Amino acid sequence: MRKFITTLVVLIVASITGFAQMANPQEPLKNDPAVRIGKLDNGLTYYIRHNAKPEQRAEFYLFTNVGAIQENERQAGLAHFLEHMALNGSKNLPGKMMINYLESIGCSFGRNINASTGVEQTMYMLNNVPLLREGVLDTCLLILHDYSHFVSNLPEEIDLERGVIIEELRTRRDAQWRMFEEALPYLYKGSKYAECNLIGTIEGISTFHYQELVDFYETWYRPDHQAVIIVGDVDVDQVYDKLTVLFQDVPAPETPSPKKLIPIPENDDPIIGIITDPEAQSTSITFVIKTDPIPHEMRPLGMVYMVDMFKSFITTMMNDRLQEIAQQPNAPFLGGSMGFSPLTTSADATLFAVGAKDGESSQSFHALLMEIEKMRRFGFTEAELERAKTNYLRRLERAAENAGDRRNAELVYPMISHFADNEPILDPAYELEVAKGYMPFIQLEQLNQIAAQVITEENRIVLLNSPAREGLAIPTAEELQAIMDSVEEMELEAYEEEVSDQPLVDVATLVPGKITKEASGVFGSTVWTLSNGIQVVVKPTDYRKDEVLFSLKSDGGHSIIPEDLLPSVEGNVFGLWVQSSGVGEFNASALKRKLTGKIAQANPYLEGYSQGINGSASPQDLETLFELVYAYIVTPRFVDSEFEAPMAQLRAIVPNLEQTPNFKLQQELISTLFNNNPRSQIVSSELLDNVSLQSMEAAYRTCFSNMNGALVTIVGNVDPETLKPLVELYLGSLPAGKKPAIWKVNDNRIQKGTIDNHFTVEMETPKTSIINVYTADMPYNLVNTVYMDAVQSVLNMAYIQSLREDEGGTYGASVQKLLLDRPEAYGGIIIAFDTDPEKQARMTEIVKADIIHVRDNGPSEEYVNKTKENFLKNRQENLISNSFWKQVITSYYDDGLDTFTDYESIVKGITPATLQDFFRDFLSQGNFIDISMSPAL
């Protein structure tokens, strides 16, 4: 395969002389000196970095550079199975000792204790572990040590886990997964990758011999394939010393077992795959061009960073063009994207994709190829490239500004890329200087040469995904080939664009308000009251140097919108309008161009009882954020021709969604919970028939016409004195009535009583989905909030043990709590899981038995203590989060609920007895809804 980008850029770099003001592109870039990198005598690589954000926390990773592709024909799915077994006992931490220990210090399974398996890599993670004492550090290192070489893989544990993984397969194997499996032989034709589906088959998982799993582990889990990564509030020298001693009993391999590079064969003629599924949600076309990857040994070089810059600019500019087309009326495709990505370790790819209306995939593919051909023939414009460069540097500037505020998890993945792909670990400030040095040498002429080289005649793959439906027009492979042939002969015109120099907001027309009252607020905030009735609460922080969060919230929402207008502001409809509408005189594409170099965003929302705008900005772009907020309220954009594109997307997707089991389950759930209340609807074909832009505009203006009483919360790196004039100008001039906005009482709440809804649907992968809902009236206060969270926590732990570990009957049960204050105060617990239809009765029995046990006997002291430790751990981590404080302040001033002051004392006061009493009272009201969906016979 052609190394077009590498070859061309190497030639460009070779022509550059004089490196005094820039990193020499022919030499490796410097790794971040704060990261200690090395290799133990047995071949294990280590990465250690101190970082105290947050304090007394650390990340522990074992990265193993092997995955499903290393399996032999008898081991299909066992790389993933082994990941599960690592959590089921090891030499030094047998059984569930590891999980129990970590949960006892506040970690939670799934969130803080997890692992993932890929085709070529496997990763084990302990996230945000509280380093309460040195013994915690020692234990976490011991866990990584045991993952590396000492997983027990006991036969009895393997047999228990078979059921869990079979249920995981049952849950995951939806239309998207099935179509992914069908695409493998096309993407990887002629290679082992074509048969590697990651999780295996039910038959294989049920019957493999124990020794096959042990053989895979012993063959591939070797220190020369592994890296230990520790990032957090640790002493680097101390961790290194402990690693050196602890891992010395992990033997270096006596016989080499190197990973073999598995090539992807080239193809002269396009490989075309047409893949259909009865439950497919949409039609899409993916156009792939395979290329050779950049050689592993070259990846640290500066010239490869330049390659990535060229790729980034091409991707950005092409995506802008495709997005602009998709937003036009009667667009030839619903959405489009382009990117560069590795297919495997042996092959990279240039990928293009578009979404199509059902039956119109030929037209969409033709339109995509026309844009690709325009890129090949004419390239891009200077204006496009300058915008891409500006946004690229602005992103790096922000990263450099926030470098000292990065959380531990943000520092881990560059280390993984260094180990797996030989990518340099760049300090953000250094990377910014590197990019600035290289930027003048990225010229349009050379970039357009590269863009032309991207498109080759060989190594093409076309994948068409479509619903399988009688009467639906789906092109043949020959017809898709004919489209490719025809585009190369077409007469085309180069891309042109219009750029407006109009301001987002004409400031001269604004009538500023005044701050009429200033007072000290809670939690280190300042409160301003504006002359139009808006209350502004400002809390300056230094948690992120380049972050300011904004929210505006006002009462009303769906509750004040007439029922006949509600379909037009359904969540999906409204969300797509926001994405595609723009503001004022700027459509969405023009707005994006206008915001070049700015880090500011604002997103209107409409909810059941409120409306508002959430936003964020860099401190230097705060005025742009305020302009956007003002524009979305005063000059929202409602243009019929621009509304066609989002509606076309919904009309193409929703009829297919309606054929899927999960949609039918969601539809039955909402209609059952809310008794078909028109104020609780999900998107459907019938709903779309009642949508109009005029209705949306009427509803929107109803909600956003009166900002009197609105609450604005601003948290982040902001100077209140600098903020004042922006607040008075942009917020003070917002429209306001004489009285504060209010919400209206209605009957839109979950039904009371006992209700059953059991139904069947046709489905490709048989499974039963069960949802149990318990509700009770209760005051909306902090005690009830904490106790509902605690019920959720203990039930989650109980069901992991009973439904997953003991019974092997589900991949996982989800327990979620509700606590609402509108239209009336009540709470709820929702339990949901998938299972084998033959196990439905048994699983339902277990779910109810655990509920009765907690009610009659109380939760175990172990579960309660783990819950309390987890709550207190999470609270400490949240204290350095702007989003946490924004939520706390908004709740205090909008709901009158102080979620901060007494939180820790309430958590510490939870006992098995108090939680039992709470849960007994909750269940005593007798409200229970039982919903199940099973496969039709």
Beta pairing, strands 548-555 & 610-617: antiparallel
What's the pLDDT score for residue 485?
Answer: 95
What is the tens place of the pLDDT at every residue in 513-523?
999 999 999 99
- pLDDT over 60 (residue 5): no
- 291's enclosing H/E stretch is strand 283-291
Residue 444 CA to residue 379 CA, distance in Å, equals 9
Residue 765 CA to residue 172 CA, distance in Å, equals 10
Residue type, 146: D
What's the pLDDT score for residue 2?
Answer: 54
Mean pLDDT of 677-681: 94
Residue 393 CA to residue 29 CA, distance in Å, equals 18
Structure-token pair, residue 601: 């965003």
Half-sphere exposure of 610 toward its Cβ, with a 13 Å CA cutoff? 16
- pLDDT over 90 (residue 583): yes
The residues, ordered by sequence, that sit 6+ positions from 452 with a Cβ below 8 Å of its Cβ are 375, 376, 377, 379
Lowest mean pLDDT among 258-267, 274-283, 688-697, 712-721: 258-267
What's the pLDDT score for residue 488?
Answer: 83
The residues, ordered by sequence, that sit 6+ positions from 311 with a Cβ below 8 Å of its Cβ are 5, 340
723, 538 Cβ separation under 8 angstroms: yes
Mean pLDDT in the chain?
96
Residue in the structure block whose two tokens are 């607020």: 521
**pTM score:** 0.95
What's the pLDDT score for residue 258?
Answer: 78
Residue 653 CA to residue 291 CA, distance in Å, equals 33
639, 648 Cβ separation under 8 angstroms: no
What's the pLDDT score for residue 12?
Answer: 63
What is the tens place of the pLDDT at every residue in 881-916?
999 999 999 999 999 999 999 999 999 999 999 999
416, 229 Cβ separation under 8 angstroms: yes
* Strand runs labelled E in 780-891: 814-820, 826-835
Residue type, 67: G
715, 882 Cβ separation under 8 angstroms: yes
Residue 587 CA to residue 632 CA, distance in Å, equals 12
Residue 314 CA to residue 307 CA, distance in Å, equals 11
Indicate the SS3 state at residue 19. Answer: coil
Helices 444-454 and 4-14, packing angle to 10 deg: 160
The residues, ordered by sequence, that sit 6+ positions from 504 with a Cβ below 8 Å of its Cβ are 583, 584, 586, 594, 624, 627, 628, 631
Mean pLDDT of 87-102: 97
Phi and psi at residue 772, to the nearest 5°: -115, 135
C-alpha of 772 from chain center: 27
State the pLDDT confidence band at 435, using cuts at 50, 70 and 90: very high
What's the pLDDT score for residue 902?
Answer: 98
What's the pLDDT score for residue 23?
Answer: 84
879-885-887 Cα angle (round to 5): 130
* pLDDT cut 70: percent of the chain above it: 98
- pLDDT over 60 (residue 540): yes
Q: Is 808 left (phi over 0), alpha (psi -120 to 50) or beta?
A: left
What's the pLDDT score for residue 732?
Answer: 98
Cα Rg of the chain (Å, integer): 29
Residue 551's CB: how many other CB atoms inside 10 A?
A: 22
Indicate the SS3 state at residue 530. Answer: strand
What's the pLDDT score for residue 6?
Answer: 60
Residue in the structure block whose two tokens are 């046709």: 762
C-alpha of 364 from chain center: 28
Phi and psi at residue 289, to the nearest 5°: -125, 115
Enumerate the β-bridge partners of residue 815: 831
The residues, ordered by sequence, that sit 6+ positions from 742 with a Cβ below 8 Å of its Cβ are 555, 556, 560, 709
What is the three-state SS of 725-773?
HHHHHHHCCCCCCCCCCCCCCCCCCCCCCEEEEEEEECCCCCCEEEEEE
Q: Which domains does the chain have, with CATH numbers?
A: 4-27+264-400+417-487 (3.30.830.10), 42-249 (3.30.830.10), 507-731 (3.30.830.10), 754-935 (3.30.830.10)
Residue in the structure block whose two tokens are 């439904």: 803
Residue 514's CB: how many other CB atoms inside 10 A?
A: 12
Mean pLDDT of 308-312: 97
Sheet containing strand 515-520, edge to edge, reads 515-520, 526-530, 535-540, 711-716, 548-555, 610-617, 600-606
Residue in the structure block whose two tokens are 């040469």: 449
Residue 870 CA to residue 108 CA, distance in Å, equals 7
What number of residues does the chain have?
937
- pLDDT over 70 (residue 855): yes
Give burial (CB, 10 Å; 0-12/13-18/19+) of 394: middle
Question: 333-366 in b/e burial notation, b at 16+ Cβ within 10 A?
Answer: bbbbbbebeebbbbbbbbbbbbbbbbbbbbebbb
Residue 558's CB: how many other CB atoms inside 10 A?
A: 24
- Of the chain, the end-to-end C-alpha distance in Å amounts to 50
State the pLDDT confidence band at 124, using cuts at 50, 70 and 90: very high
190, 264 Cβ separation under 8 angstroms: yes
What's the pLDDT score for residue 22?
Answer: 80
The residues, ordered by sequence, that sit 6+ positions from 68 with a Cβ below 8 Å of its Cβ are 76, 77, 79, 80, 117, 118, 119, 120, 196, 197, 198
What's the pLDDT score for residue 442?
Answer: 94
What's the pLDDT score for residue 43?
Answer: 96
- 387's enclosing H/E stretch is helix 382-401
Residue 884's CB: how many other CB atoms inside 10 A?
A: 18
476, 274 Cβ separation under 8 angstroms: yes
Enumerate the β-bridge partners of residue 58: 129, 232
Question: 835-874 in b/e burial notation, b at 16+ Cβ within 10 A?
Answer: bbeebbeebbebbeebbeebbeebbbeebbbbbbbbbebb
State the pLDDT confidence band at 541, using cuts at 50, 70 and 90: very high
State the pLDDT confidence band at 20, using cuts at 50, 70 and 90: low
Q: 199-203: which pairs have CB atoms within 8 A and are 24 or more residues apart?
A: 199/77, 199/80, 199/165, 199/168, 199/169, 199/172, 200/76, 200/77, 200/78, 200/80, 200/81, 200/165, 200/169, 201/76, 201/77, 201/169, 202/166, 202/169, 202/170
Indicate the SS3 state at residue 283. Answer: strand
Residue 693 CA to residue 644 CA, distance in Å, equals 9
- pLDDT over 80 (residue 493): yes
What is the tens place of the pLDDT at every residue in 644-662?
999 999 999 999 999 999 9
What's the pLDDT score for residue 498?
Answer: 82
What is the three-state SS of 45-95?
EEEEEECCCCCCEEEEEEEECCCHHHCCCCCCCHHHHHHHHCCCCECCCCC
| 92 closest CA partner among 170, 144, 54 | 144
What's the pLDDT score for residue 260?
Answer: 87
- pLDDT over 90 (residue 3): no
